[in-house]
Amino acid sequence: MSLVITRRAGEKIYIFLEPNADLDSIVKTLVTTGIEIKVTSIKGSQVKVGIEAPSELTVLREELCEF
């Protein structure tokens, strides 16, 4: 999964494990490839962050999370 999210200072990104994910598989994937987080650009007070993560993970902006 590849995703680019724009954030400002203090805003958050959450990474969740999918409920039906095979834990052994995801652990092996994370150990071998990990999660890549890359700042793709900075414009004023905004930062664009690129996230490359296994499909068994969900990446959400804070405002989309319901806690």
In which region does residue 10 sit, left (phi positive, over 0), alpha (psi from -120 to 50) or beta (all else)?
Answer: left
- pLDDT tens-digit profile, the chain (67 residues): 578 999 999 999 999 998 888 999 899 989 999 999 999 999 999 999 999 999 889 999 999 987 7
pLDDT of 52: 94
Q: Which residues, other chains included, contact 66 with Cβ-Cβ below 8 Å and sequence gap of 6+? A: none
Residue-level pLDDT at 45: 93
Q: What is the pLDDT, as a whole number, of residue 66?
A: 79
Domain boundaries, the chain: 2-64
- pLDDT at residue 55, rounded to an integer: 87
Q: For position 2, what pLDDT does the model report?
A: 78
CATH number corresponding to 2-64:
2.60.40.4380
